[in-house]
Amino acid sequence: MAVLARELLGEVLREERMRQRRTLREVSLAARVSLGYLSEVERGQKEASSELLQSIAGALGVSQSRLYGSVAQRFAEADAREEAVLAA
């Protein structure tokens, strides 16, 4: 089953927010994004624009390169799992 970038990015954003012990409301206000939209982005239901991701990353105090690096790492892990299943 293919993994979607928006799902992985949502996981990374949510984990970072939770690591900081911040609420959706706090981050949505700081990023100037609606709470509902941020929630959908975190759940991988919406694909955020680069401008929106920049705003969310800024609100979280992390670089976009760190976010995308985490997503790339998760893609690599998903690929390795898929390859292992196919090889079995």
Band (pLDDT 50/70/90 cuts) for residue 1 is: low
Question: What is the H or E stretch that residue 41 is in?
Answer: helix 35-42
pTM: 0.90
Q: The domain spanning residue 52 has which CATH number?
A: 1.10.260.40
> Could you tell me the two tokens for 20?
């900081």
pLDDT in tens, 43-79: 999 999 999 999 999 999 999 999 999 999 999 998 8
* Longest CA span, the chain: 48
Number of Cβ atoms within 10 Å of the Cβ of 17: 19
Query: Residue 78 belongs to what domain range?
Result: 5-87
Number of domains in the chain: 1
Instruction: Give the rounded distance of the alpha carbon of 56 from its chain centre.
Output: 10
